[in-house]
Amino acid sequence: MKVQCNNLTKRYYTKTAVDHINLTFEPGHIYALLGPNGSGKSTLMKMISGLTTQNDGEILFDGEKQTWRNKGDVAYAPTEAFFFSYMTIKNVAEYYDDFFADFDRTLFQKLLQEMDLREEMKIKSLSSGMLAKMKIAVTLSRRAKMILLDEPLNGIDLMSRDAIIKTIIGYAPEDGCVVISSHMVEELEKTVDYAIFMREGSIAYETDVEELREKETKSIVDKYREIYSGEVA
């Protein structure tokens, strides 16, 4: 599924979180959405996932204007713990099964196994690394056309990070887009094939990553430093 943002703008009272953004997400690609905190990454994701409505501009799903139905096409994993406090992993699977037609329970069980998680575990007692893995498992088990992962590597141990990246690489849909936001750039260096740099609600730069290496002999980190030099990341 192709997702286009045209002139997308979101204001919260006096603050402009996203400022006239134009972007196209093509199926089959993994995108890095980069930028310091407050640069508009999360707000952009929330608009695409239908959790908040833009003030200006439009989002097109395969050329059609976004409606609430498109919530069914987007699998969004917020950076925070967002499950109900009573839930076990199994309860979360049941919830996704109930609400999302694209949820693949068999795949979910497989991913749990690969990540050393068990269905009877309580969400409340998961470590931050386990919770992060759980979020990836449940989100990727939705065979969604648009997968949005907000800071999936934030604040977790190295082994969990590796497991998460392996899972993303192994299970990214061929006919869908994956967008990963992060302010930790190194981790995504090999994982993504397209990088979008945001600054103060706008797109500062976007590039095919291999092209960047080929033409400018620069890594994403190099480019990040170049773009945000003098700014606090």
Partner 1 sequence: MEFKSNTPIYLQVIEDIKSRILSGEIKPGDKLPSSRELAVQYDINPNTAARIYSEMERMGLSYTKRGIGTFVAETTDTLDSMKEEALHKVLSEFFDAMKSMGYDEASMVSELKKFISKK
Partner 2 sequence: MFKTMKYELMKNRVPIFVMLGILAVLECLFLYENYFDFENVGISIVLLILTGGAVSFWILINGLVMFSRDFNNKSGYLVYMTPQPAVKIITAKILTAFFTGVAFMVGYFLLGVLDVQLLISKGHQMAEQMSGNTAKVFESDMASFAQFLDVLLSEKTILSIGKAGFIMIVEVFFILTVAYFAISLSNTLLRGHKLQGLISFVLFIVLCAFFNYIANMVLPDYDFSVMLGEDGVVVNSINLFSAAGIINLVYSVGLGVLAMFGSAYLIENKIDL
Q: Which residues bind partner 1 (CB under 8 A)?
A: 28-30, 165-166, 169-170, 172, 174, 186, 189-193, 209-210, 213-214, 217-222
116 C-beta neighbours (distance < 10 Å), count? 11
Q: Which of 25, 76, 171, 197 binds partner 2 (CB under 8 A)?
A: 76
Q: What letter does residue 155 receive in the DSSP assignment?
A: T
Q: Which of 148, 3, 34, 29 is nearest to 82 (CA)?
A: 148
CB of 130 closer than 8 Å to CB of 137: no
Amino acid at 113: Q
Binding partner of 213, given partner 2, partner 1, none, CB within 5-8 angstroms per partner class: partner 1
The residue range among 12-20, 26-34, 162-170, 185-193 that interacts with partner 2, by the rule CB under 8 A, is 12-20
State how far Cα 3 lies from the chain centre: 14
Q: Which of 61, 83, 103, 194 binds partner 2 (CB under 8 A)?
A: 83
- Looking at 115-155, list the stretches that DSSP marks H as alpha helix, in order from N- to C-terminal side: 128-140
Q: Does 100 bind partner 2 (CB under 8 A)?
A: yes
* Site of interaction with partner 2 (CB under 8 A): 12-13, 17, 43, 46, 49-53, 68-69, 71-72, 76, 78, 80-86, 95, 98-100
